[in-house]
Amino acid sequence: MSFRLSQRDKDIIAFINQFRAVDRDSLVKLFFKQLKSPVNACNSVMVRLYRLGLIERTHQYSPTVYIPVGAKIKKNSQKILHFLSILDVYKQMCSYSMPKNVIVEDKPTRRKGGIEPDLFCIFKGSPFWIEIQRNQYSEQKMQAKINLYEEFFFSDEWQALR
């Protein structure tokens, strides 16, 4: 059986690979909102991509959440909720302006113990490193994270990322 992927199919697969967990409603909002029946269109595309083995899905959540093929993430992992939180911040940003150079779980310094933001992007011309915490951090641990970001900022290393 031969098949051809549309540009939208390729964009959806790349988006799922980039964000690592994407719920159906987010896909509707980001890729199908201009259609007459966006939910039905999304469902049929996602079933097709799943049957072709180009994406995985988990029914642990409602609506269905899609993950990359071969992802090192279990289908019932709490990490999925973390990735969905990152996606939610991205969608909120998109409602104001499209972020550019979006990287999920970046490690810009590549050194052990350096900053590891959940989301990096250029937003309205400025670099943003975003940390998303779903659980409570002690004040000491949070201050240590803040110190790492301040150190990175004052090092001017970040200027190369613009």
Give all domains of the chain, ordered by start, each with its CATH number. Answer: 1-71 (1.10.10.10), 97-162 (no CATH)
Task: Determine how β-strand 100-104 pairs with β-strand 126-130.
Answer: unpaired
pLDDT in tens, 116-134: 889 989 899 888 889 898 8
| Residue 122 near residue 129 (C-beta atoms within 8 A) | no
pLDDT in tens, 12-69: 999 999 999 999 999 999 999 999 999 999 999 999 999 999 999 998 888 999 999 9
